[in-house]
Structure 1
């Protein structure tokens, strides 16, 4: 069970003695094997009263490095860190509100609030949890940004004429993930009603049924390094966009496709490449728009695999070596002919277990290949491919 921080814990951790204790303990291994020794060392350093808070903070800071940038001196609770947006995602969302007055009504420990404060005209954060608010105050100071922080219920507005940013908690009282917007904290409909007529930015799970949010003028799906991280429901930005997919990379590159772009595609046989669009594009329903941008077309109008004679820049695409009707016997013969031993199997539109199929195929050659199994119309098709990373535009390899 996660440690429950108190206001006294936060005050100690922010003090000179607390900072010294955290620095002393930062070098501890904190493994299962060293647990008893580590706990004893921390208790000797800071005493029984604050040992658990120091240990938990060191552990959480290490975990934060996987998603947050320059947060090695921040304070967290376990739940708050788990829900916090990765820095690249929070930074992108904040960039869309640059120059505006912004109020984060569920600011928690301030991961989003800090990024908003970097670009907003003014940034205010509020939360019902006093411990998290004090952590947010500390984290904003550590990030050298200016924010206002107040204790307030998100359903009781305490600001006017600001864009309202919210990230409702999506777990119930037992810690189980919930998919019902009525069970969010605060409930989604109540949150929207509380800020009628106000510009809104609400972070949600990418698996949310967006039909339950008819008030959202734009739904944006965001991925980072190939993983879909969140959906953001926007109101009041007046972009003319209904659906947007934003693809971010840790190297700082990014691109966006929207439903305002053309989506007319040719009907042609399979080309030289198979392309699996980023998950944000698929989830946003923008596969055709992405394909049209890059001169691609669909293998089947109901399946997200794309094909074409040129692969888009900056993606992992599959150069087609051979393709034909799928049968296990025919595929085994094709793999043997290409001397395939290391095999990746991708499946879409067919009821096939890739791992079980790989065991049955027993590839034993020296070459590496990717097999894409899908259907065109009602016919199952197998593409034997070579996976290639296409250089991004402007890279030395391009």
Structure 2
């Protein structure tokens, strides 16, 4: 749960004395918790030590996730905050609009919205988080309005409503049912009839439980699926979208408005494992059609072809055949494989347990893709490239 900040803590952290204390403590290694607490108490005094120490530790943790120089956080707020590239991507779809973030917390999403929106308003029930959001907006050099309000009690009359319902209970357990979110998802939607909505959710959400959403977008960052976003009222003729982001700034999107007709062919020279956002969004066929690929099996997400798409990790097929442990062990020995990566889809195989049983001892490195074509288990010995 982390330290529970007070309004007095936030006022101190924003003051000249607090800024100086944060700068001094940020130079410490803080690797030993007990020693760190003692050191911070000596530097800043008992009253403010906990708030300063927690802030420095949270800023260090935030550095790999949020572009947040000089920001203030609570532990829960940082945990739920979108990574900056993800928040920035979502904000681009709101450019030029009036936007109300009804669960703005410390402002991680609101800051990115305010950079591109015509007008931006944030609201939250927690006065501490609102003061942190005010500070963070100033630190980021953006302007937005703030109001203390319950997300279920609208304080704006128009514009797009943005929300990020909490998905953990007071004990920190993850909530999977929309009714268990805070605020409950259906109640949130009902509170804003006729308004365009953008609601951030976990990627594992059962989208059948959100029939009000016109579009479901799955977003990944550097190969990891980070979130889903439910959109209503944007009228783009798309019901499913996958967006793939990279930290280097590159990105691409595929939607269900694209063709999905694929040829039926034998396995090609390469195997491609699509990005998780594409798989979770149910857009494997659309992605394959765009790049001239086809499926090994219509129920399996592995793709194959003679030319892999740019910017993806692909596997050049060296040898293929029916899968059995005995046959696979012989193939590994023949190719002198000692360092082995195992990828599995469609078979009940534990890669780590299988690797221990295979005991590869050669000097070469290879990847094995295990899957099925129809009812037949197959193994592809590959070299990972690109």
Superposition TM-score tier, normalisation by shorter sequence = over 0.9
- What is aligned with 1:56? 54
Runs of 4+ aligned structure 1 residues displaced above 2 Å come to 35-38
- 2:212 corresponds to which residue? 215
> Which residue of the partner structure matches residue 7 of structure 1?
7
Counterparts of 2:66 and 2:34 in 1: how far apart (Å)?
29
TM alignment of 1:159-308, pairs within 5 A: 159-308=156-305
- C-alpha offsets along residues 55-102 of structure 1, whole Å, 9 cap, x if unaligned? 000000000011012x13000000000000000000000000000000
Q: CA RMSD in A?
A: 0.7
2:69 touches 2:139 (CA, 8 Å); kept in 1? no
Query: Which residue number corresponds to residue 393 of structure 1?
Result: none
Distance, in Å, in 2 between the alignment partners of 1:307 and 1:101 is 44
1:117-156 aligned within 5 A: 117-156=114-153
Alpha-carbon distance, 1:52 to partner: 0.1
The size of the alignment, in residue pairs, is 386
**Which position in structure 1 is the counterpart of 2:341?**
344
Secondary structure at 1:132's aligned position in 2? helix
Aligned to 1:375: 372
Structure 2: runs of 5 or more not aligned: none
> Which secondary structure does the structure 1 equivalent of 2:372 belong to?
strand
2-side partners of 1:209 and 1:292: how far apart? 26
Q: CA deviation at 1:104?
A: 0.2
Q: Give SS of 1:197's match.
A: coil
TM-score (norm 1): 0.96
Distance (Å, rounded) in 2 between the aligned partners of 1:86 and 1:345:
30
* Paired position in structure 1 for 2:27: 27
Give the one of 18, 36, 39 matched to 1:38: 36
Distance 1:133 1:91 in 2: 20
Work out whether 1:102 is the aligned partner of 2:92.
Answer: no
What's the CA shift string for 1:119-163, capped at 9, x where partnerless? Answer: 000100000000000000000000000010110000000001110
CA distance in 2 between partners of 1:334 and 1:380 (Å): 16
Give 3-state SS (helix, strand or coil) of 1:271's partner: coil
Give the superposition deviation at 1:43. 1.2
Query: Secondary structure of 2:169's match?
Result: coil
Q: Taking structure 2 as the reference length, what is the TM-score of the superposition?
A: 0.99
Name the CA distance, whole Å, in 1 between partners of 2:20 and 2:152.
39
Q: Quick one: distance in 2 between partners of 1:41 and 1:366?
A: 51
